[in-house]
Structures are given as structure tokens and as C-alpha cells.
């Protein structure tokens, strides 16, 4: 459908009214979650099944299917929400579609089989709002994912999209916009937490007729995917945020630097940009304001360091992503030497909200120094995996136990890793810490972009340190010696420790090296790269010592110093492990306990995965 250009604010208002009216005519909505996680779990086939059913019963006028980005509750993918009541069905299969339409949509009858069961109470929960995972959240950004088909700009307009932009054009000067953002207390959501308004102001004041804004969507922290969810599920909120920022700063060109590993995000943002252009919400003289703005997409090429702003800009310029010394900061000398403002995806997405509802409203959420909500990806050894949006300042305990539903299989909580490779591991003694920028830094970690990886008693902290060092060693661009060689050396030492070759004094050497890497590296990657090692030493020194002194891995993870054996009492002699062992290392007869030949065992763990009787022991 061709879109008519919106020439003034009034045109947008009228279009919105029309869209709201159209949407009100349809009685029931079936909202199908189909972000990357949903697709990976088969939402594509579910969508097709619903389309077929609607056609079969000729329900095109009565039911509206809405295919949305992710609903945040990854554990329950693919899921559907049936509005207006908000009935929540989880783990839908294509064959469920007909029953859902016939029973629930047409007759408003609940199908108990498809409901979410609370693991703690065993109760089946009908409505989305009652599910503990959602109940304690404050989903200012994420909830919109349910209201929007990201491939259809009209959905965004119908829920008030681009209203903040209209408000800005209707009567706010650049200075007033910046003042509003400053007053809101919004801080960068990408990691360091720099006040957004101040950043904008610096760029606004910088001399230069050409200025740029950039959206940093190079979400590289492993275990963090909130930016992907926003890009996939609500791309226009980011475009609108960038438009407002560009207006405030005086930029007429913007870039979104997005990871190529996120194909759906690239697709949806591209569609969003094109649709915004068709309406004239991007381009020349937007809504008759005289303001011009264009956005281009740049795809990353698999380099973690490009999340660092100066490296990111080098990459947009078509060069290798090597960071450079700051100052000059991007606000003075950024992309192609021009004043540039870079914010992260989630930061941009907060902007329209602040402008629409006001800084006063926004600054009432959160803590003294950290305002608003923050999205975390709660993953790892946790019952309710998903994206969690909470007012900043909630405690880790509330997030992990009340929203996350605790640790699976009755295992014990050991630590939560925040902030990705720049962050650290926080132990159970600190679970009551409120989550905000300052508190997490004090605890030796960082807020980072919002990854929260929960670890249980089966996670080895030396192995975790080794994992991050290996990650950073590969991702270090190599420019600073301290980072390139220091991280490499730390990796070698930790590897030795994990293989039972650690020596007395290794921990102290690690601490020394860590501080050098921290002090002598130029960019954030090196400066924070030692955090995973330092925080694990700080809170889990006993695990390092067990590896060094007793050549033991308490969590039974480090391959070189563990041994697999068979518990003769539990083994039923079913021969399953004998057949599965790739080395032929297990011998024994039917119905008699089997044995592992240690000289042949490569510790691949296949036997322990296949054994139904829990008879494989690892120590």
C-alpha cells in the first residue's frame, strides 16, 4: 500500500486517529511472538498454521493476527497472547492453532493444557499479567513489543509513535530538548552510564556545520540481547529517539551500526527506515519542520571491539575497527572528524518516552543516581530465562528469585555475572545489592549492557575466568601491548591453573598483571578486561586455591583434572554408555556394573549425558 507523505504535524495526528479507529473495529487479536528465539523454536510454522485457520473459517474480519518481536519470556517461546484479556499460551505448536481460534478466540474458553504452570505453586496461570515473571517487571519499553508488528509502521503510529517527535517540532527548541533529557537523569545503557543529556550538550556546543548521530547496535556482550529484541520488535522507537537526538544536536545524518549476526534485526530496521521515509518521517523537511534527517545502516563484521565508540566509527568509515586515543572525544572529533554523538540502542529507545511523558515522570522511576528502567537478559542456570525490564535499583535477589524463579534442578546459586567480558561475578553474599551503576561497580563488576548470567554450583569460576580471558584475547585488536600480551599471559596462567599446573604465587601474579592491563590500556576493552579475573579471585579465591594446591576442580568442570567413573550401586548395566562412548573406553556386561578405562577416556561427557540412572560420577 502506497503511503501518502505526511506534510505537517496535523497530517500525522489525523492519520493516527484513523488508524486507531480501524484497529478498534477488530474484536480480538492473536499476538504471536516471533523474534529470533521464537523463530528458532518454530514460530514460523505456528504463524502459518494460524493464517490457514483464519482463512479456513473465514475470520479475516473478526480476528487480527499480529506477528510481533519477542515478548521477553524466552522460556515460553513460541507463545501467543490473546487480547483484549491477555490470555497467555506458551510453547505453541502448529497443531494448537485451530483449537486456540475455535475455542479461545471464538468461544472465549481457556485451554488449560497450553497455560503456563508456575513451577513453585504448580498452578496454571491464565493471564499474562499474573505470571510471576512479568508481574514484578516494569516494562516501559518491552511491553510495546506486543503492540507492534515491527514490519508495519502503522502499528507504531497507532500506539502514539512519533508523537514525541511532533511535540518537539511543535514547540521545543534544541536546548529545551537537551534540558529535558538532562532533567530526566537518563544515563547511557551501553555500559559506562554516562549522562545522555550531557553528552548531547557537548555535541551541540561543538563547532561544525556537519554533525552525526550514531546508534550503537553492536551488541557484542555474550549473553546480552536486549538491543536485538528492541531492534527486531520496535525499530521505530529507536528511529524516533535518533530523530529527536539529531534535532537537539543539529545533525542531519545518522547511522545504525548493527551486528551482522542479527539478520532479523537488520531486516526489520531496514523495513522501518523505508516505511518512515515513505511517510516523510525521514528525509527532507520532516512534518514541515524544516528539519532534515537520514539514517543509514552499517552491518558489523564480527569484531567485539567495534562496540567501543572510536573503533565503531573507524568501522563505519570502512576501516579496521581499531580504537584511538580520547580526547578528542567523538563529540568534538568523531565520524570523519566531525562532531558525533553515539548512544546505545536502549538509550535511544528511552528518548521518545521521556519527551512524551516528561522528565519529571521519568525521574521518579529508579534510584537517586540511576533513573528509569533497565532491561537485563536473565540467562544461564535460571528457571525463567528471558528479558527482564525493571526499575533500576531492584535487588539481585528479587530479579533472580522472584522474576527468574530461581535455579533449576534444586541446584545451589553460586554467582551472577554481569557486564559481559568487562564485568565480574557477584557471589551470593551480595544478592541483596540493589542493581545500579555505582553499586555494581563497587562490587567489582559493572552494569554493562545488561547481560545477567546466572551460575550454579556446577559452574567453575576458574573456568569462567578462562572463558572470558580467551574471549578477550581473541577480540583484543592488538594495538596496546598491555592488552594484547597481558591478557594472553593471564590466559596462559589461568589455563595452567585449570589444568592442574598452577603454582604457588600464580594468583598474586594474576592480580599484578590485571592491574597493569587495566592501567596501561587505551580503550574500555583492556581497561575492564581484567574484571572477570579480579572479581573471581576476590570472591572465589578458594576455588583457585583448590585447583592450584590440590589439583581439584570443585565444580568438576576442568577437564584435565577431573575423572569420570561409574557408581557401581547406581549402574544397572544397561549398556547405553558402552554404545555411546566414542572411545570404546567403557566395558562391562549386561546387568552388571560397567567400568571406565581411564587411559582411553577423553572426558567428552557423552556417558554422563546418556545415563538415565545418574550413575556416572565426575570428580
Q: Rounded distance, CA 147 to CA 64, Å?
A: 12
Q: Rounded distance, CA 492 to CA 482, Å?
A: 15
Q: What is the DSSP letter of 448?
A: T
Task: Work out whether 490 is an interface residue with other proteins (CB under 8 A).
Answer: no
Tell me whether residue 89 or residue 471 sits nearer to other proteins (CB atom). 471
402: nearest Cα among 114, 115, 131, 140: 131
Three cell numbers, residue 388: 527482564
Task: Work out whether 304 is an interface residue with other proteins (CB under 8 A).
Answer: yes
Distances (CA, A) of 226 to 34, 116, 217, 300, 453: 15, 23, 10, 17, 14
Looking at 84, 171, 290, 318, which residue binds other proteins (CB under 8 A)? 318
Secondary structure tally for the chain: helices H, strands E: 25, 19
Task: Work out whether 320 is an interface residue with other proteins (CB under 8 A).
Answer: yes
Tell me whether residue 35 or residue 185 sits nearer to other proteins (CB atom). 35
Task: Work out whether 483 is an interface residue with other proteins (CB under 8 A).
Answer: no
Contact call for residues 182 and 368 (beta carbons, < 8 A): no
Q: Rounded distance, CA 434 to CA 425, Å?
A: 15
Task: Work out whether 308 is an interface residue with other proteins (CB under 8 A).
Answer: no
Distances (CA, A) of 578 to 156, 409, 569, 602: 58, 27, 17, 14
Mask for 451-480, x = binds other proteins (CB under 8 A): x-x-x---x----x--xx--x---x-x---
Task: Work out whether 315 is an interface residue with other proteins (CB under 8 A).
Answer: yes
Tell me whether residue 299 or residue 333 sits nearer to other proteins (CB atom). 299
Q: Rounded distance, CA 532 to CA 451, Å?
A: 14
Looking at 191, 220, 280, 424, which residue binds other proteins (CB under 8 A)? 220
Task: Work out whether 216 is an interface residue with other proteins (CB under 8 A).
Answer: no
Task: Work out whether 260 is an interface residue with other proteins (CB under 8 A).
Answer: yes
The least CB distance from residue 456 to other proteins, in Å, is 8
Task: Work out whether 34 is an interface residue with other proteins (CB under 8 A).
Answer: no
The least CB distance from residue 302 to other proteins, in Å, is 4
Q: What residues between 557 and 616 interact with other proteins by CB under 8 A?
A: 580, 582, 602, 604-606, 609-610
Task: Work out whether 123 is an interface residue with other proteins (CB under 8 A).
Answer: no
The least CB distance from residue 439 to other proteins, in Å, is 21
The least CB distance from residue 222 to other proteins, in Å, is 4
Contact call for residues 228 and 272 (beta carbons, < 8 A): no
Q: What residues between 367 and 386 interact with other proteins by CB under 8 A?
A: 377, 379-381, 385-386
Looking at 133, 134, 262, 437, which residue binds other proteins (CB under 8 A)? 262
Q: What is the DSSP letter of 421?
A: G
Displacement of CA 140 from its chain's centroid (Å): 16
Task: Work out whether 302 is an interface residue with other proteins (CB under 8 A).
Answer: yes
560: nearest Cα among 596, 601, 607, 588: 601
The least CB distance from residue 75 to other proteins, in Å, is 6
Task: Work out whether 319 is an interface residue with other proteins (CB under 8 A).
Answer: yes
Task: Work out whether 396 is an interface residue with other proteins (CB under 8 A).
Answer: no
Q: What residues between 501 and 540 interact with other proteins by CB under 8 A?
A: none
Q: Which residues contact 374 (CB under 8 A, 6 or more apart)?
A: 189, 346, 389, 390, 392, 435, 447, 450
What sign does the dihedral 433-437-438-442 (CA atoms) show?
A: positive
Distances (CA, A) of 608 to 455, 563, 567, 619: 20, 12, 11, 12
Task: Work out whether 417 is an interface residue with other proteins (CB under 8 A).
Answer: yes
Task: Work out whether 412 is an interface residue with other proteins (CB under 8 A).
Answer: no
| Binding region for other proteins (CB under 8 A) | 36-37, 39-41, 74-75, 77, 219-225, 228-229, 260-262, 298-304, 315-322, 377, 379-381, 385-386, 417, 420, 451, 453, 455, 459, 464, 467-468, 471, 475, 477, 580, 582, 602, 604-606, 609-610
Amino acid at each position: 500500500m502506497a503511503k501518502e507523505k505526511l506534510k505537517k504535524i496535523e497530517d500525522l495526528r489525523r492519520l493516527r486517529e484513523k488508524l486507531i479507529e480501524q484497529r478498534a473495529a477488530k474484536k480480538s487479536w492473536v499476538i504471536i511472538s516471533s523474534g529470533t528465539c521464537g523463530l528458532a523454536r518454530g514460530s514460523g510454522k505456528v504463524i502459518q498454521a494460524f493464517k490457514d485457520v483464519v482463512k479456513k473459517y473465514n475470520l479475516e474480519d473478526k480476528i487480527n493476527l499480529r506477528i510481533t518481536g519477542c515478548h521477553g519470556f524466552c522460556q515460553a517461546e513460541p507463545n501467543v497472547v490473546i487480547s483484549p484479556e491477555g490470555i497467555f499460551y506458551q510453547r505453541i505448536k502448529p497443531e494448537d492453532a485451530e483449537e486456540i481460534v475455535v475455542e479461545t478466540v471464538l468461544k472465549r474458553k481457556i485451554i488449560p493444557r497450553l497455560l503456563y504452570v508456575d513451577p513453585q505453586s504448580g498452578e496454571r496461570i491464565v493471564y499474562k499479567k499474573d505470571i510471576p515473571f512479568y508481574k514484578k517487571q516494569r516494562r516501559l519499553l518491552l511491553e510495546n513489543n506486543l503492540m507492534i508488528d515491527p514490519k508495519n509502521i502503522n502499528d507504531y503510529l497507532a500506539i502514539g509513535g512519533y508523537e514525541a517527535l511532533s511535540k518537539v517540532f511543535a514547540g521545543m527548541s534544541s536546548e529545551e530538548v537537551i534540558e529535558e533529557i538532562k532533567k530526566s537523569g537518563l544515563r547511557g545503557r551501553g555500559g559506562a552510564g554516562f549522562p545522555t543529556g550531557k553528552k548531547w550538550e557537548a555535541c551541540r556546543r561543538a563547532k561544525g556545520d556537519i554533525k552525526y548521530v550514531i546508534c550503537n547496535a553492536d551488541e557484542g556482550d555474550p549473553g546480552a540481547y536486549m538491543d536485538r529484541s528492541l531492534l527486531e520488535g520496535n525499530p521505530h522507537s529507536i528511529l524516533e529517539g535518533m530523530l529527536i537526538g539529531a534535532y537537539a544536536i543539529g545533525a542531519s545524518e545518522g547511522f545504525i551500526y548493527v551486528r551482522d549476526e542479527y539478520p532479523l534485526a537488520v531486516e526489520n530496521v531496514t523495513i522501518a527506515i523505508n516505511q518512515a521515509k515513505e511517510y516523510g518521517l525521514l528525509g527532507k523537511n520532516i512534518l514541515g519542520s524544516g528539519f532534515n534527517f537520514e539514517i543509514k545502516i552499517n552491518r558489523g563484521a564480527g569484531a567485539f571491539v567495534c562496540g567501543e565508540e572510536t573503533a565503531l566509527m573507524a568501522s563505519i568509515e570502512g576501516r579496521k575497527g581499531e580504537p584511538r586515543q580520547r580526547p578528542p572525544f567523538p563529540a568534538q572529533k568523531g565520524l570523519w572528524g566531525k562532531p558525533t554523538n553515539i548512544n546505545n540502542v536502549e538509550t535511544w529507545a528511552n528518548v521518545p518516552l521521556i519527551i512524551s511523558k516528561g522528565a519529571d515522570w521519568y525521574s521518579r522511576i529508579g534510584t537517586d543516581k540511576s533513573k528509569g528502567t533497565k532491561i537485563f537478559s536473565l540467562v544461564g542456570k535460571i528457571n525463567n530465562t528471558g528479558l527482564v525490564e525493571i526499575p533500576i535499583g531492584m535487588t539481585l535477589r528479587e530479579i533472580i528469585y522472584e522474576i527468574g524463579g530461581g535455579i533449576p534442578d534444586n541446584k545451589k546459586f553460586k554467582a551472577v555475572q554481569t557486564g559481559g567480558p568487562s564485568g565480574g561475578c557477584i557471589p551470593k553474599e551480595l544478592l541483596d545489592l540493589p542493581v545500579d551503576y555505582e553499586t555494581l561497580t563497587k562490587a567489582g563488576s559493572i552494569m554493562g549492557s545488561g547481560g545477567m548470567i546466572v551460575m550454579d554450583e556446577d559452574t567453575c569460576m576458574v573456568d569462567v575466568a578462562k572463558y572470558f580471558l580467551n574471549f578477550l584475547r581473541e577480540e583484543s585488536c592488538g594495538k596496546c601491548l598491555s592488552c594484547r600480551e597481558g591478557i594472553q599471559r593471564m590466559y596462559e596462567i589461568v589455563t595452567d591453573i585449570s589444568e592442574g599446573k598452577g603454582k604457588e604465587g600464580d594468583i598474586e601474579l594474576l592480580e599484578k598483571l590485571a592491574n597493569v592491563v587495566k592501567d596501561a590500556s587505551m580503550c574500555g576493552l583492556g581497561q575492564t578486561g581484567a574484571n572477570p579475573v579480579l572479581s573471581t579471585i576476590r570472591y572465589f579465591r578458594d576455588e583457585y586455591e583448590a585447583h592450584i594446591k590440590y589439583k581439584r576442580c570443585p565444580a568438576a568442570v576442568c577437564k584435565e583434572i577431573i575423572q569420570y567413573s561409574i557408581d557401581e550401586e547406581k549402574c544397572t548395566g544397561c549398556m547405553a554408555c558402552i554404545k555411546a562412548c566414542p572411545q570404546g573406553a567403557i566395558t562391562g556386561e549386561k546387568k552388571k556394573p560397567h567400568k571406565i578405562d581411564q587411559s582411553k577416556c577423553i572426558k567428552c561427557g557423552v556417558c554422563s549425558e546418556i545415563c538415565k540412572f545418574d550413575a556416572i560420577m565426575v570428580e
